[in-house]
Amino acid sequence: MTKLTLPNGVRVLTHPMEHTRSVSIGIWVEVGSRHEQPEESGMAHFIEHMLFKGTKTRSAKDLAIAFDTIGGNSNAYTSKEQTCYYTRVVDRYAERAIELLGDMLWNSVFDPEEMEREKQVIIEEIHMVEDTPDDIVHEYLWEGIYKNHPLARPILGTSETVASFSREQVCAFYNKMYHPSRIIVSVAGNVNDSLIQQIEKTFGAVEWENQEQEEVLPAPFYSVEIVNEREIEQAHVTLAWNSHSVLDEDIYAIVLLQTMLGGSMSSRLFQTIREEKGLAYSIYCYHTSYIDGGVFAIYGGTSTDQVNELLAAIDEIVKDICTTGFTSQELDNALAQIESNLILSLESSTTWMNRLARNEILYGEQHSVESYLEKYKAVTLEDILRVAQLFQNPKSCSILKPYAS
């Protein structure tokens, strides 16, 4: 792996994989929904869409045709803390892909007519989430546990905020947040010197005014109980506890806890809630971590008349874990699962591209696969029991159920 910082601040990370013909390219921007003001809610995601809608020399259709011509699988996404534009192409098209991504990033025109059309597209995307109960129940939860903090707001924004965006607002946000120092070009696969030179040419020549980094406010965690009713058939339940930052040294124990509790078919939640009690078809847990905090959550979908029974069963499981922990066999199984998933994923150039960028964003340096595995293997049953005490803290609950008959 090599790292190159261009004169304007753009960081270029490359990982050669000579055995493959693919090249995965990611343009990462250190901006997400938590960097928005309330009236800007959804702005980072809106800009992600708009970068595909035309540049100074290419229309939206021209960009689509150009990516299709090189056979690239191109897309983008916005999270709470980052935005990523990515593609995976055959190696002979990699330089062309770099030029296209650079054109989108630096030369998008934010055409007013395209903006109005894309607002409607995103509003429909918002409606789609609102019509998906097992998605919106988590949005309700985040609104409750983070209240007025930016992390509480949906990444997509609301229909009202998106409809209100002016071109002036969008350009001001872009000019502030897309500073070259926030940009990472991450490339993995069949990388050669010619491709690196193309990256330097495309991403190194852009100059930007120096701007101060805005303060990222820490996120408090509130214990709340939220109940909503919708015209649906099934009840959806999500429980959440305040948890660890992605940078916390206990994050490896947390990942193992999540795996053993609800990350597989042999997990405690799956075996007890679904297989033994038949209370839910879908039952799992997940950990969402940010640079300054995190949330440990459990989700289950069940019939309305079984909600209380489901909650009681989950409560019994987490109390048992807080008291007796897990067995050595469960820990060994979780370690084997994590190790296998990690090693097998590294056969993909896309996985390497993602790893390079995330390591740079979080740590400012690269951590080897071996070092990660060593940290997982160093976790003991006592460590798991210790971090599981988070379940002793006040929790939050979001329940979405059918209208009462």
> What sign does the dihedral 238-239-242-243 (CA atoms) show?
negative
Q: Are 357 and 186 in contact (CB under 8 A)?
A: yes
CA 189 to chain centre: 23
Backbone angles phi, psi at 347, to 5 degrees: -80, -5
Q: Give the tokens for residue 179.
A: 């500073």
Q: Give the tokens for residue 355.
A: 């790893």
Q: Packing angle between helix 43-50 and helix 167-177, nearest 10 degrees?
A: 90
- Per the annotation, the verdict on 48 as an active-site residue is yes
| Catalytic-labelled residue, pool 36, 40, 48, 81 | 48
Q: What is the DSSP string of 47-82?
A: HHHHTTSBBSS-BHHHHHHHHHHTT---EEEE-SS-
Strand order in the sheet with 395-402: 225-230, 395-402, 235-243, 293-302, 283-290
> What sign does the dihedral 198-204-207-209 (CA atoms) show?
positive
Backbone angles phi, psi at 197, to 5 degrees: -65, -40
Q: Are 90 and 21 in contact (CB under 8 A)?
A: yes
Token pair 């679904």 in the structure block, residue: 274
Q: How far is CA 198 from CA 20, 75, 105, 385, in A?
A: 20, 21, 15, 51
Active site residues: 48
